[in-house]
Structure 1
Amino acid sequence: MAQIEQRMLDGLLAPGDRLPSERELSQLLGVSRPSLREALRVLEALGIVEVRVGRGSDGGTVFVGTPGSGFANLLRMQLALGHFGDGDVLRTRSMLEEWAIVEASAHAGEQDFRELEALLGEMDAPELTARGFNRLDTEFHVRLTEATGNALASYLMSSLRMAIQRNMIEAYEKLPDWRRTARSVQEEHRAILHAVRTGDTQRGVELVRHHIIDFYAVGRP
């Protein structure tokens, strides 16, 4: 894995590149084929490569061109093991989302706002379950970060939200009336979006900070 990583850092491997056959690669790296298979399995789990079954151009190991869910899966397991406390998650979410408000206010276009409004409209549907509401809630926050134009930030937001989504769903389902809470959350979402659209970044930052802190304050993730 270290040798493959170094080749990536040196610019010798790029998205879409195909690795040599297992026999050729094991000889090139000077490792056994079982060791190589293990390394490739780890890289596949991390979303770095895709191992395709087949021969010729249809098969082999290819470096993926877009980030996968590997980071989110790893983060979710680390959170489950308590590697990061609630305070760490709270502060990280707050910093990232406050930054996103400022950047989205400067860079978001009309298409961004239409899609964000559409998500909020979907979240108003009376037939939604708590699970469905939280899925759309995650999409809203990720889409708002995408409106900054920073691909890495939106991926980090997506990974963080995916990592804590199960706890969010469980917390909602334990509420006596989760729909009442959802209506309050929707009011906050719309106020945040209005602040971004009008360029009122100070108000937007305050709103999103309270949006996150209030959620944690009542025992939710």
Structure 2
Amino acid sequence: MTDEPRAWQVVLDSIERDLLEGRLRPGDHLPGERALSAALGVGRSSVREALRVLEVLGLVRTATGSGPNSGAIIVSLPGGGMSALMRLQVAATGFAVADIVKTRLVLETAVASELAAAPQRASLATAVELLDVMESRPLPEAEFLSIDAQFHLTLAEASGNQVIAATMAGLRNSIESYARLGAATLPSWSRTAARLMLEHRDIVAAIQSGDAASARKTVHAHISRYYAEISLPTFSILPTGVSDAAPRGT
């Protein structure tokens, strides 16, 4: 008989092993709860608990309903311990949205500036591929914002600074969560999405031009404009994008 209190770990280990060994990649759908339960010999409640943990860690995104965007979808690969610790902090107490935005402004403007100023230009091929996907067809908000968050993480990874990359990876779920919450307040998501895509291209162009000041300014404007546009009240981001009731930060 399976030890149910620890059975979710069996599911977690199995999925993470498939990710690390390349059998699962970002964009792949996980089997349904029933199929995973039968394949791994655990209860469906254990499968749900494992998926909740994977979502907190930023490895999967889950959506209810039917169709190609429903179920559990792989959105990232396992990162290092620092990223996991930060994601678990989000799971426990959350981070104030204002603090997340301020941290992004510090880290991402530095990344863009350094990428532009580097004597040997880092490859932005992966970042450009993500932009091509975003522009290839109209995407649901959740999918668009998931790729958006991955684009920003990819730039951090391109910098070669492992601490910055790990920090951005740890914040990824929080960034995506506040972006999704804010999207619901916009008068026109399609208009904002079109502007974001143009701004992403401007960021890449500024970096590739070698103009560090322009790259820094473009990233700062991109992040701060979206935050100002969504006009979210101050609150903490918790797992799966749910906010707490007590205002925090300024």
> Quick check: TM above 0.5?
yes
Q: State the alpha-carbon separation in 1 of the partners of residues 111 and 181 from structure 2.
A: 27
Displacement of 1:79 in angstroms is 5.8
Cα displacement string for residues 3-28 of structure 1 (whole angstroms, at most 9, x for unaligned residues): xxxxxxxxxxxxxxxxxxxxxxxxxx
Q: Which amino acid aligns with 1:205?
A: R
Q: Which amino acid aligns with 1:75?
A: Q
Q: State the alpha-carbon separation in 2 of the partners of residues 127 and 94 from structure 1.
A: 28
- Partner in structure 2 of residue 159 of structure 1: 170
Check conservation: 2:185, 2:230, Cα contact below 8 A: no
* Counterpart check, 1:101 vs 2:112: yes
* Counterpart check, 1:184 vs 2:195: yes
* Counterpart check, 1:67 vs 2:80: yes
Q: What do you get for the CA RMSD once the two structures are aligned? A: 2.7
**Structure 1 runs of 4+ with >4 Å offset:** none
Secondary structure at the aligned position of 1:218 is classed as helix
Q: State the alpha-carbon separation in 2 of the partners of residues 206 and 163 from structure 1.
A: 23
Any unmatched runs of 5+ in structure 2? Answer: 1-53, 58-77, 233-250
CA gap of 1:206–1:78, structure 2 versus 1, over 3 A, is: farther
Q: State the alpha-carbon separation in 1 of the partners of residues 79 and 126 from structure 2.
A: 22
Q: State the alpha-carbon separation in 2 of the partners of residues 78 and 103 from structure 1.
A: 33
Give the length in aligned residue pairs.
Answer: 156
Within a 5 Å distance, the mapping from 1:180-219 to structure 2 comes to 180-219=191-230
Q: State the alpha-carbon separation in 2 of the partners of residues 88 and 66 from structure 1.
A: 22
* Counterpart check, 1:92 vs 2:103: yes
CA gap of 1:184–1:75, structure 2 versus 1, over 3 A, is: farther
- Partner in structure 2 of residue 119 of structure 1: 130
Q: State the alpha-carbon separation in 2 of the partners of residues 206 and 159 from structure 1.
A: 24
Greater RCO (CA < 8 Å, at least 6 residues apart): 2
CA gap of 1:108–1:151, structure 2 versus 1, over 3 A, is: farther
- Partner in structure 2 of residue 136 of structure 1: 147
Q: State the alpha-carbon separation in 2 of the partners of residues 67 and 214 from structure 1.
A: 31
Displacement of 1:172 in angstroms is 1.5
Secondary structure at the aligned position of 2:181 is classed as helix
Displacement of 1:151 in angstroms is 1.7
TM-score by length of 2: 0.55
Q: State the alpha-carbon separation in 1 of the partners of residues 231 and 90 from structure 2.
A: 16
Cα displacement string for residues 40-71 of structure 1 (whole angstroms, at most 9, x for unaligned residues): xxxxx9x9xxxxxxxxxxxxxxxxx9615532
- Partner in structure 2 of residue 20 of structure 1: none
- Give the structure with the larger helix fraction: 1
Displacement of 1:95 in angstroms is 0.5
- Partner in structure 1 of residue 90 of structure 2: 76
Displacement of 1:176 in angstroms is 3.5
Q: State the alpha-carbon separation in 1 of the partners of residues 187 and 79 from structure 2.
A: 41
Query: Equivalent pairs: percent with the same residue?
Result: 30
- Partner in structure 2 of residue 171 of structure 1: 182
CA gap of 1:79–1:203, structure 2 versus 1, over 3 A, is: farther
Check conservation: 1:98, 1:208, Cα contact below 8 A: yes
Q: State the alpha-carbon separation in 2 of the partners of residues 71 and 220 from structure 1.
A: 29
Any unmatched runs of 5+ in structure 1? Answer: 1-44, 48-64
Within a 5 Å distance, the mapping from 1:21-40 to structure 2 comes to none
Q: State the alpha-carbon separation in 2 of the partners of residues 205 and 87 from structure 1.
A: 20
Displacement of 1:147 in angstroms is 0.9
Q: State the alpha-carbon separation in 2 of the partners of residues 127 and 184 from structure 1.
A: 13
